[in-house]
Each structure stands twice: as C-alpha cells, then as structure tokens.
Copies of this chain bind each other. A is one copy, B any other.
Amino acid sequence: MAEVTLRDVARAAGCSVATVSRVLAGTRPVGAETARAVREAAERLGYRPNEVARALRSRSTGTVGLVLPQITNPFFPTLVRELEHALHAAGRAVLLADCDDDPATEAARIGALLGRRVDALLLIPVDERRSREAVAAAAARVPLVLLDRGCGPGVADSVAVDNAAGMALVLDHLAATGRRRPCFIGAAGTASAAAERRAAYAAGAAALDPAAPERAVLGDFSVEWGRAAVDRLWPARPDAVVCANDLIAAGALQRLRQLGAEVPGDVAVTGFDDIPLAGLADPALTTVRQPVAELAAEAARLLVRRPAGAPVPGPRRPVRTVRLAPELVVRASSAPGTRPTS
C-alpha cells in the first residue's frame, strides 16, 4: 500500500522484476503480450519508480545543483526560472542553494550538493577570486558550468552575456543621441561582470573622445550606492550617467530627481540587465537586456552535452566559454535631451 515496487508489479503481471524493468525502461525488446500485461499491472497498482533506487544503481541522480550568490538579487529570479524550465525539460530536477553572498557558505553548499551526488552543477560564483578554490575542486568531480560571472581563466565552462558589447551599445546610443559628457557608476568588486563592464566603459569613453577626462566612481551593485554616487558625480554636471546595473541606475535616478535634475532632459541614465524594475522606474530605464532564456538554454546544453565516458575526462580538458550578445532596450530615461546645452 505504502509503496508499490517492481516486485509487486512483477507478481501482479506474472513475470520477473527484470522483465518489468525492461518493459518500463524500454531497454530491451519484450514480447508484446508480456509487455501489455506489465503495463496494465503497473497502471492498475499505480506504480511510480523509486528515483532513489534508480539513482543508486545507475549512478546518476538526474539532479542538477544550482548555486547562486543571493536569490534576492533581482536579476536572478528570471534566470532561475528559465534554468528550472530548461533543466526540467531535460528531465533533471534542480537542487537550489543560496550562498548569502558569502564564499564560505558557497563552499559548504557545493560540498553538500556533491554529497547528494548531483549529476552536475550550475554555478554563479560569489566572488571571482575567493570562489575559485571551491569551484575548481567541484569542477574536478562533476560537470560544472559557470553562469553570468566568471571565476578565473580555465576553471570551468562558462556562459555569460558579452558585457563589453553591451556597454558599447549603450555608449553608441548615447553618442548618437547627442550626449557628450558621460560618467560611469560601477562596482568595485572582482566579480567579472563588474570588471568587464567598467573596462568596457573606459575603453568606449576613451574611443569617443580621447581628450575627455574619464569620470567613473566605483562601489557595489546596490541602489544605495547609486544614490551615493550621484552625490559625488552631479557637481561635474555630466549629461549622461552610465550605470553598471539597473539597481545602481534606479538609485541614481532617484537621487538625481531629488537634486532637481531632469531625466532625460538634463541628464540621461542607463542601466544594465533589464530587471523588471527597469521598466517600472520613472522615467523608465534605458538598459541592456541580457538574453536570459538563451543563457539558460546554453547552460543546460553545456551540462548535458558532456561527452560520454568519465565525467571529467582529462586533467586539462579544453574549457568552453560562451558569450551571448545583449540587446539595447531604449526607454524614456535616455530620450534625446529636450533641454539642449542651453
């Protein structure tokens, strides 16, 4: 009653467990009549295979660990959603681990997931440097794909948006709409997204006008920092504030308006990521949309397409890195200045 097993089905169908297993798994041809009887019995008894036993025997749990820094970071939920769907479509369940933005908990969670014998790990590292050791160790035991952020060269396969291209889109757009004195509010961390975006801004701004002084301040990826940064930058009267992500941009927008600046009249503001908040801000935020669904699909593909054989073939297999193209989403916050250099 409590638990219908293969034995019960076999007994009811009048054959052996082996046969039942073969019918249900379709691993070997079975006589038509027997197959019918088995299926009928399984149906009638309400047989549900025990995934745990299956996992033990076949050495594969059909489970993927998803490790992220902080689920409350508004960029992650949509990513998690896409990943969950992509993986479920591939018949894999998702074990979720939230690291509270702390490398130590991250290492602990990774360890716990490995103990649970996940087939693979999908991981957004907390910190480029301090996550490296745990990530490398995990990658040696199980297929692992890094998402959104890198973790040092050659550590593991990774999928991320092309941050440089995204930043270039922003700068081109601003230049095309007549902005000449941009500034940048970035994040100081070693997280690769932070580094790549600020490097791309620096490169792009220099290309636009080599003579212009580069105005950039660095903090973290938060609304608070966006507000604070504006206080530092506004006195220089930039005509565009380029932010390293949407949260910063939201904070900047808020503070600019408090200071009496008109957006986009006096100053344009741009973000990065296109989190749901971006469309809701007032004015709505021009930003760079990450191709979240493609990111997820690509990550799932990398996980599954691990060539058969040992889970981790050679000591130094080639690491695959996928970069996806972002898309510029132009909204009100960067509309051409209605109030020219008056």
Identify the A interface with B (CB < 8 A). Answer: 48-53, 55-56, 61, 63, 66, 70-72, 74, 76-78, 80-81, 84-85, 88, 93-98, 100, 109, 111-117, 223, 250, 254, 257, 276-277, 280, 282
Contacts and interface: CB of A to CB of B under 8 A. Distances in A.
A71 B66 contact: no
Nearest to A113: B93
Contacts of A276: 72, 74
Given A55-B52, A93-B116, A81 B72 contact: yes
Given A77-B77, A277-B277, 14 more contacts: A48-B115, A56-B56, A66-B96, A71-B81, A71-B84, A74-B77, A74-B276, A80-B96, A84-B98, A85-B100, A88-B112, A95-B96, A254-B280, A254-B282
Given A84-B71, A84-B96, A53 B56 contact: yes
Contact of A81 (B70, B74, B81, B250): B70
Given A93-B113, A113-B93, A280 B51 contact: no
A220 to B, nearest CB: 16
A84 B97 contact: yes
Given A52-B52, A53-B56, A78 B72 contact: yes
Nearest to A258: B282
A10 B77 CA distance: 45
Contacts of A81: 70-72, 98
B74 A76 contact: no
